[in-house]
Structure 1
Amino acid sequence: MQYGEKISLIARLIKESTKTIALTGAGISTESGIPDYRSPGTGLWEKQDPAKTASLTALRRDPAGFYSTNLKRWTEFNNAKPNIAHYALAHLEKNNLLLGIITQNIDSLHVRAGSTRVWEVHGHLRTCHCTECKERYPFEELTRLFIEGENPPLCPLCSGVLRPDVVLFEDKMSEAFYQASQAISGCQLLLVVGSSLTVYPVAGLPGVARQLVIINQTQTQWDEEATVVVNESAGKVMRDVLAELGEQI
């Protein structure tokens, strides 16, 4: 199937579906300047072992080292801006062609693009909380303390170590994941955009959908089950799909 035929088919599937959900991963945000995790040569996990640097054990054992390793990258996430793919999904939701977005990303770019129903299953970087008293703060408070020389950043109330509201390695899954698992029930069409579908339990969600479209630069384990697979950038494909639907942002 040629590229144009795939775009036409995706647009038709979206129009015919009465329950469409998007599942997004790091690949949707690369065009916003955020590197993904597994691309050869550029993936973040090629440079460091996340099980050692972005884990609950790492935070507890050496909180100062945890922040020295991770905070610069997370701050860059918060400075990024949504790209055409994020805006395209927000537009589909606004026009009742998309129920919502299940995202593995912690960069908040779907929220900034205007999507209103977003299940951030790995958390986000808008807030943080104290590991001791559980008091919650804006994430900017954590970064302010770090910039002012407090490493690790400590809770102003009880001096416990602050942590971002993200799912670290070894953490239990977020409440948003369980909400997403319920929301996807009866899904007629799942649009996978920019996910390698390797991180469980999220990688098992495509099995719930009746039909599957995968838009990702590289192959995934679900490709053979998909109705359409497009190995192109998320921005290019979503722009073309919107044009095929006669929609403009």
Structure 2
Amino acid sequence: MSNEWQAVHDVIRSGQRIVFFGGAGTSTESGIPDFRSANGIFAWKDMEFTPEQMLSRSFFDRYPALFYQFYVTKMLYPNAEPNLAHVALAKLEERGQLLAVITQNIDGLHQRAGSKRVLELHGSVQRNYCMNCNQFYTLEELLALSHVSSLDNTQEKLRTESAADGQGEIPYCRQCNGVIKPDVVLYEESLNMDTLEQAVRAIEQADVLIVGGTSLTVQPAASLVQYYKGDRLIVINKSTTSLDRSAAYTVNDSIAAVLGQLVTV
């Protein structure tokens, strides 16, 4: 183990109120692509609308069938499994060292690994609600109701979609026939204020803050790290971030590889 990794290991081992703040890179080794890399979700440019537009609230309201085509085929990975990073963080919580996981991810893998206190800034694909009666639906139920298979012929669907088109791809509530919406924060929507406030309080209480798997470019989530007042900030990311210079420890490597080794030794 290098001196840098040993130092990070010692800090994590001595931490009593550790908070983890993570992004898309936390789940890439579970087979879920990130957003902004060369092979990321936002690199997909085969339509006249950008992925950002297709994941906006106004697009969801206007073109729900096309929204669900993109969402189901590009954003959902129901067979993904937690990786070593998720498992390591759950282990830190089990030891009584981890105060909270704050995540920008919507995949629910932290909970599947065993983490209990997970603050999901952008919501979760695991939760879905009828916009009319608020009936809850699991991810499995949503997929069963949406009947989406591919993004083929989306240009034609975009030109023809109306109230009568694409109905088989829009998941409707079994109770009232209202449109079901994923409990994820779309573009043009605000983050949940209660979740934000909990995240701020957790970071303020942290004696160790680990920032991992995030480029820190998505606001307002990225600005939360400013509430950390301690001197043991650890940044673990494959690429450089805006926090590297102010961090006490910086490791340019896979978050799964780093936490997977340092938490178990």
Q: Distance in 1 between matches of 2:216 and 2:60?
A: 26
Which residue is 2:202 aligned to? 183
Which residue is 1:57 aligned to? 58
1:106 Cα shift?
A: 0.6
Q: Distance in 1 between matches of 2:198 and 2:60?
A: 27
Could you say what secondary structure the match of 2:85 adopts? Answer: helix
Which residue is 2:233 aligned to? 212
Give the alignment's TM-score, normalised by structure 2: 0.85
- Taking the TM superposition and a 5 Å limit, the aligned residue runs for 1:72-221 are 72-76=73-77, 78-147=78-147, 150-174=168-192, 175-209=194-228, 210=230, 211-221=232-242
Q: Note if 1:47 corresponds to 2:44.
A: yes
Deviations 1:60-101 (A, max 9, x none): 01001100111123332x210001111011111111221120
Q: Distance in 2 between matches of 1:233 and 1:113?
A: 18
Which residue is 1:22 aligned to? 20
Give the alignment's TM-score, normalised by structure 1: 0.90
Aligned length: 240
Rg larger for: 2
Q: Distance in 1 between matches of 2:4 and 2:100?
A: 22
| CA contact 1:54–1:169 (8 Å) conserved in 2 | yes
Q: Distance in 2 between matches of 1:30 and 1:13?
A: 25
Indicate the percent of aligned positions where both proteins have the same amino acid: 39
Could you say what secondary structure the match of 1:224 adopts? Answer: coil
| CA contact 1:105–1:124 (8 Å) conserved in 2 | yes
1:111 Cα shift?
A: 0.4
Could you say what secondary structure the match of 1:184 adopts? Answer: helix
| CA contact 1:28–1:234 (8 Å) conserved in 2 | yes
Letter paired with 1:221: S
1:113 Cα shift?
A: 0.5
Q: Structure 1 residues 70, 98: CA separation in 2 closer, same or farther (over 3 Å shift)? A: same
Superposed CA RMSD in Å reads: 1.7
What residue ranges of structure 2 are gaps of 5+ in the alignment? 149-166
| CA contact 1:22–1:193 (8 Å) conserved in 2 | yes
